[in-house]
Amino acid sequence: MKVVKFGGSSVANAAQLKKVGAIIEADSERKIIVVSAPGKRNKNDVKVTDLLIELGKAAIRKDKKIQSYIEPVMDRFSEIVYELDISDTILHDIKTDINKLLASNLSDEELMDSFKAIGEDSSAKFLSFYLQSLGITAQYINPKEAGIIVRTDPAGAQILPESFTKLYDLRKKSGVLVIPGFFGFTKSGNLATFSRGGSDITGSIVAAGVKASLYENFTDVDSVFTVNPTFVDNPKEIKTLTYREMRELSYSGFSVFHDEALIPAFNEGIPVCIKNTNNPDAPGTMIVAEKTPSYNCVVGIASDTGFTSIYVSKYLMNREIGFGRKLFQIMEEEGVSFEHAPSGIDDMTVIIRDTQLSKEKEDIILNRIKTELKADTVSIHHDLAMIAIVGEGMKETIGLAQKATTALGEALVNIEMINQGSSEVSMMFGIQAEGLKRAIQSLYDAFFVEDKAKTL
């Protein structure tokens, strides 16, 4: 049994949903389907989830012009329903649900989550009705009925372990089951959404729960690329990746697959295949537990911007017991999480995402480090980009760091930070964001363009 997830672009309009129908029809093992909310139909379009977030905000502030927020959502849904030629009673039901929410006394968080979930919930209903119209036995299954039990968390709902046993029962149901992605229910029955892009998480949870033979994740690219195509023209495709490699890549800017979505599939050892709804015959990218080592162990180069580093130096830091703890305690007390913390003998750098910091918080942290830790130097650097070169077996490969640093040098990019020690599967470089495109192109040439790769 396969669990198949279709992303926002795959359910963006009726034409896309028809492709989804054909993909489901083509393989009788595709039994459990998880869907996103309708995404962008073109570059300038707005995702339904974003429309719903605006609607949610308007509802929370009791905006008198609430109708003007409901209309764009209903217009998107109507277009899909009419073009799929399915019963329009569903539109009436969605409208009733929206009105019920507006009249409810849910907390602001619950209200927002309930609005956000309407996108996925409606998609799942549209698809199940459409499959039925094709003569396929299909039914919509609500996440509560499916057994997706979560706890709330400011960073997005988290699945509870008991869900997996409950989900296994889905195997007993016959026909195709269509489950909305992105949300679950707490033990007390409240709806809670995962973090943005969280339908991938639902797909993975369901695949783990039913112990699927494969989790297919349909999106709008043929495969995962070795590097972001906005930086390099026609980058090579990745055929097979390990979970660990994918985790590193999706952490640092590869948006093809949600980084939280790997864990459930990984825990159950379920292979994941990333495929393209617009080209379903392309083999896609497989994500597996183990793969045979290859000569070029680097599988991909990921990058992300929006980082700040705090540099702290103090003579004899290496001998001062508890220095690191005290530094991290300051971060903890100020409610800031950090991404990396490379260190030297007398110094340490803490790398933080900009989203974690405000100017005010920055000043407080710098001041506390200076006074409480009696540091010699404390400085802050903005506009950093992080580049991760990812691949199993990198640690054991001679000359790899040299190859990367030579490529960065050739691109006239100064390396502000290197971090190789901690991860078995990646090497990280911190550089000024301004040089990112040059850096990526040069690294890509060094690792993936054969002629160039040989000369380095």
Decide whether 57 or 438 has the Cβ nearer to ligand ASP: 57
Q: Which residues contact 425 (CB under 8 A, 6 or more apart)?
A: 242, 244, 245, 248, 390, 391, 392, 394, 395
Smallest distance from the beta carbon of 48 to ligand ASP, in angstroms? 7
Both tokens assigned to 261 = 């979505």
Smallest distance from the beta carbon of 326 to ligand ASP, in angstroms? 38
Q: Is 8 in the site for ligand ASP (CB under 6 A)?
A: yes
Q: Is 47 in the site for ligand ASP (CB under 6 A)?
A: yes
Q: Is 181 in the site for ligand ASP (CB under 6 A)?
A: yes
Smallest distance from the beta carbon of 54 to ligand ASP, in angstroms? 13
How many residues interact with ligand ASP (rule CB under 6 A)? 13
Decide whether 202 or 442 has the Cβ nearer to ligand ASP: 202
Interface with ligand ASP (CB under 6 A), residue from 21, 56, 119, 156:
119
Decide whether 218 or 429 has the Cβ nearer to ligand ASP: 218
Angle at 372 (CA atoms; ends 366, 378), nearest 5 degrees? 35
Smallest distance from the beta carbon of 327 to ligand ASP, in angstroms? 34
Decide whether 77 or 182 has the Cβ nearer to ligand ASP: 182
- Sign of dihedral through CA atoms 42, 48, 49, 54? positive
**Window 48-67: residues binding ligand ASP (CB under 6 A):** 49
- Sign of dihedral through CA atoms 184, 185, 186, 187? negative
Smallest distance from the beta carbon of 186 to ligand ASP, in angstroms? 19
Smallest distance from the beta carbon of 101 to ligand ASP, in angstroms? 17
Binding segment for ligand ASP (CB under 6 A), chosen from 161-169, 196-204, 232-240, 262-270, is 196-204
Q: Is 198 in the site for ligand ASP (CB under 6 A)?
A: yes
Binding segment for ligand ASP (CB under 6 A), chosen from 24-32, 103-111, 194-202, 350-358, is 194-202
Q: Is 184 in the site for ligand ASP (CB under 6 A)?
A: no
Smallest distance from the beta carbon of 364 to ligand ASP, in angstroms? 32
Angle at 115 (CA atoms; ends 4, 198), nearest 5 degrees? 35
Contact 301, 226 (CB under 8 A): yes
Smallest distance from the beta carbon of 50 to ligand ASP, in angstroms? 7
Q: Is 76 in the site for ligand ASP (CB under 6 A)?
A: no
Q: Is 37 in the site for ligand ASP (CB under 6 A)?
A: yes
Interface with ligand ASP (CB under 6 A), residue from 21, 156, 197, 391:
197
Angle between helices 67-84 and 48-60 (to 10 degrees): 150
Phi, psi of 290 (to 5 degrees): -135, 150
Both tokens assigned to 294 = 């290859």
Contact 87, 129 (CB under 8 A): yes
Smallest distance from the beta carbon of 290 to ligand ASP, in angstroms? 28
Bridge partners (DSSP) listed for residue 348: 312, 343
Whole-number Cα distances in Å, 409 to 160, 303, 414, 443? 47, 17, 7, 10
Other CB atoms within 10 Å distance of the CB of residue 169: 12
Decide whether 206 or 440 has the Cβ nearer to ligand ASP: 206
Phi, psi of 137 (to 5 degrees): -75, 110
214-219/272-276 β-pairing: parallel
Phi, psi of 161 (to 5 degrees): -55, -30
80 vs 13: CA distance, rounded Å? 6
Q: Is 218 in the site for ligand ASP (CB under 6 A)?
A: no
Binding segment for ligand ASP (CB under 6 A), chosen from 75-83, 99-107, 192-200, 287-295, is 192-200
Decide whether 5 or 314 has the Cβ nearer to ligand ASP: 5
Q: Is 204 in the site for ligand ASP (CB under 6 A)?
A: no
388 vs 253: CA distance, rounded Å? 9
Give contact residues for ligand ASP (rule: CB under 6 A). 8, 36-37, 47, 49, 119, 181-182, 196-200
